[in-house]
Amino acid sequence: MTQNSAAGILRRTVAAMPPHRGPQIEEDMAGVNAPLRRMSLNESADPPSPKVIAAVQQAVAGVNRYPDPKARALAAAISDRTEIPVSRIVFGNGSHELIMLMGNAFMEAGTRIVVPNPSFQPYQSAAKIAGADLTIVPVTEEGANDVDAMLAACNPAPRMVIAATPNNPTGALLSESALAKLIAGVPETTLLVIDEAYFEFGRLAGGPDVLKALKARKAPWLVLRTFSKAYNLAGLRVGYALASHDELTEGINRVRGVFNVNRVAQAAALAALSDEPYAKASQKKTAAERDRLAVGLKAMGLSPLPSAANFVAVKTPKPGTEVVGALAKQGIMIVPVGGPPYENHIRITIGSAEDTDAVLAALKTVLR
C-alpha cells in the first residue's frame, strides 16, 4: 500500500506547531519596482570591519578542514573580556541555535518555562518542540520585561525563565533595579537566561551590567550574546552563551553539532573583536540614527517605544500588517509586531541615513 502523506512521521510536538514561514528577504519581493531597503531583521546596515574581511579571505583557504569544535581562540578572547572561564562558554550558529539547543538540553514534557511577550519568538518554539509548558508574560507598557509579573509566574519554580534586555521587538531595557529584583527573585532551582543579543547597544544606552549582576547569583544562569548585531556579522552566524556552571555548557555541548560554528565564522568573530573601534563607531552611528528616526516619528504625532537597540517599534493608526504591506510596495521592508495589544505596531530596523529618510517619508504618505 502506498502512503500518500508523511504527516505521521513528525514528532507530535512538531506536528502541532504553526507552519514554518521564515522571514522575508529580497528574494520574496519580486515585482517591487523600487530600491529595496532591508529594515526588517535587526541586522547592521554597515559592512563588517576591513579586518574581518581580511580574516575571512584568509580562513576560506582552509575550509577543506573542519573547524575547531571548541572555537578555542574565540573562547579565549571572550573569556579575557568577560572573565568567564572557557569551560563556561559555548558557541552556536547564531544565538538562535543556542536557544533551540537549550530547549533540547534543558526542557522536556512536564517542565515549565516563563518567557516575555512580545519577544524573540524562538523561545516559544524551543519550549513547544520540547513539549514543555509555556507561561507567557506580557511586557510592560514601555516594552520592558515585566519583572514583577515574571516573578509571580515563578511559583511553583519553573525549569527556566528567559528575559531579554533590550527586548526584541520593543527595544526596552531592564532597569538596574528590575534586573536586581529578577536575579534575586528567580528561584534557586530555576535556570535564569538573559538574552543580551543587543548587549552592546544596551550598554551604549546606559543599560545595566547584566553579567556583573549575574555573577553574584549562586543559582544557575546563562547569558546569550551574538556577533550578528553590534559586530555586523549576521550572515556568518556566531552567537555565544556564558554560563554559571560547567554543567550547563556541557549540556549544550552534548546536544549541539560538533562543528556547528564554521571555520570562516570563527575567524571573522575573532577579527571583529580585534577591531573594537570599528564596531563602536558603527554602533554609535546606528544609535544616533535610531534617535533621529524616533524624533521623526514623534514629529508625525506617533509615540515610538523607547529603544536601546538597533530598531524602533511604534504604534500606528492602521493595522501593522497593512502598513508593512504598503511600505513593501515602496521597497521598504519592515515587520509588524502583531498579537494583542500590538496589532497596530510595526518594528523598523535602523539602516543608513537614507533609509531613515525613506521610511519616514513613506510613513507620512501611508498614514495620511
Which residues of this protein are in contact with ligand PLP, per CB under 6 A? Answer: 42, 94-96, 120, 164, 168, 195, 197, 226, 228, 234, 239
Nearer to ligand PLP, 228 or 330 (CB): 228
**Cis omega (within 30 of 0) for bond into 341:** yes
Smallest gap from residue 37 Cβ to ligand PLP (A): 18
Closer residue to ligand PLP in complex, CB, 164/279: 164
Shortest reach from residue 60's CB to ligand PLP, in Å: 21
Name the minimum Å distance from CB 320 to ligand PLP: 18
Which of 278, 311 has the CB closer to ligand PLP?
311
Compute the distance between CA of residue 86 and CA of residue 91 in angstroms, rounded to an integer: 11
Residue whose C-beta lies closest to ligand PLP: 94
Cα–Cα distance between 208 and 212 in angstroms, integer? Answer: 9
d(CA 361, CA 356): 9
Our CB check for ligand PLP shows the closer of 264 and 366 to be 264
- Nearer Cβ to ligand PLP, position 221 or 330? 221
Q: Which is nearer to ligand PLP, 43 or 330 (CB)?
A: 43
* C-beta separation of 196 from 165 below 8 A: yes
Q: How far is CA 125 from CA 117, 129, 193, in A?
A: 13, 6, 16
**Burial environment of residue 72 by CB neighbours within 10 A (0 to 12, 13 to 18, 19 or more):** exposed
Burial class for 182, CB neighbours closer than 10 Å (0-12, 13-18, 19+): buried
Phi, psi of 159 (to 5 degrees): -70, -35
- Rank residues 100 and 323 by Cβ distance to ligand PLP and give the closer one: 100
Closest distance to ligand PLP from the beta carbon of 140 (Å)? 17
Nearer to ligand PLP, 239 or 251 (CB): 239
Instruction: Quote the least distance from Cβ 97 to ligand PLP, whole Å.
Output: 7
* C-beta of 50 vs 235, nearer to ligand PLP: 235
Cβ at position 34, least distance to ligand PLP in Å = 25
**What's the closest the beta carbon of residue 100 comes to ligand PLP, in angstroms?**
10
Spatial separation of the C-alpha atoms in residues 124 and 114, rounded to whole Å: 9
Q: Least CB distance from residue 201 to ligand PLP, whole Å? A: 11
- Give dist(CA 62, CA 64) in Å, integer: 5
The distance of closest approach from Cβ of residue 123 to ligand PLP in the complex, given in angstroms and rounded to an integer, is 8
